[in-house]
Amino acid sequence: MNSADTSRDTAVRVRNLRRTFEPGPVVALDDLSLDVAAGEFVAICGPSGCGKSTLLNMITCIDRPDGGTIDVFGRSLTRMNGAEADAYRANDVGLVFQLHNLLPHLTAIENVQVPMLGIASDRAERVRRAEELLDRVGMSHRLHSLPTTLSGGERQRVAVARAMANKPRLILADEPTGALDSITGERLLGLLVDLRDTMQVTLIVVTHEQGVAMMADRTIRMLDGRIDG
Ligand SMILES: Nc1ncnc2c1ncn2[C@@H]1O[C@H](COP(=O)(O)OP(=O)(O)OP(=O)(O)O)[C@@H](O)[C@H]1O
Ligand SMILES: [Mg+2]
């Protein structure tokens, strides 16, 4: 395999990542290196405060490292300027959080369209795509419901549809099942695995739950800002 193939098959390549926070300083990431293959589902586990969310924030380009490099599908995040980072976040990554973060005054189908604004200019096309995504996550019967009228699991399904809005190649989820009971959580994970299989996304999921880790292709344990083991 030549080097061009290697970069295409690697979704995320992290090298010697370091992030410290003042005061302290707290070393949140300590010389961390990691490769995630395209199409892989990686679960990240580890105790509270070990740096999981900090790592995800780096891969999302929400936060920048003090040292080290991050490449996503062969592009260097560490070299991106602010505008490039904004475009990367809008187009290339989908985010799912522990709490759905849906806009409370917008319906399910409107929430899914929010990331498309400014990217897909045709309203009919946005609506069609939002309907298709909500159908994929099993929510086509609640297109016009407000988030407050949905169950926790249903809200997370809408949040997953929203994360897929701009056809990202990478989905990052930080404790997506943390607020759900275990059966609802497993169903949500099943849905993410389904999307991985049908839409060829790469999945990185931070979780405390064994059940989630069981469904992943690989589980990475973190401890004190490093990969454990
Ligand atoms: N903005 C910040 N300012 C100061 N310290 C921070 C900041 N963000 C994170 N930290 C510290 O960095 C360390 C790693 O935090 P991080 O949120 O990445 O942990 P985590 O593994 O996601 O934990 P949890 O499982 O509780 O969500 C912690 O000690 C945390 O207090
Ligand atoms: Mg966290």
Alpha-carbon distance 223 to 174, whole Å? 17
CA of 65 to the centre of ligand 1 (A): 14
Tell whether ligand 1 has an atom less than 6 A from the beta carbon of residue 53: yes
Alpha-carbon distance 97 to 184, whole Å? 15
- Model's pTM, two decimal places? 0.92
Domains, the chain, in order of start with CATH, read 39-64+93-227 (3.40.50.300)
Whether pLDDT at 80 is above 80: yes
| pLDDT value for 1 | 40
Pick the more confident residue, 144 or 185.
144
Tell whether ligand 1 has an atom less than 6 A from the beta carbon of residue 49: yes
pLDDT digits (tens, 9 = 90+) for 34-71: 999 999 999 999 999 999 999 999 999 999 999 999 99
**Mean pLDDT, residues 76-93 taken together:** 93
pLDDT digits (tens, 9 = 90+) for 144-183: 999 999 999 999 999 999 999 999 999 999 999 888 888 8
CA–CA–CA angle 64, 70, 74 (5° rounding) = 135
| pLDDT value for 8 | 57
Task: Go through 64-78 and write b for each residue having 16 or more CB atoms within 10 A of its CB, e for each that does not.
Answer: ebeebebbbbeeebe
| pLDDT value for 2 | 42
pLDDT digits (tens, 9 = 90+) for 106-153: 999 999 999 999 887 799 999 999 999 999 999 999 999 999 999 999
Tell whether ligand 1 has an atom less than 6 A from the beta carbon of residue 54: yes
Q: Which ligand lies nearest the alpha carbon of 97?
A: 2
Ligand 2 is a single-atom ion; what residues have CB below 5 A from it? Answer: 53
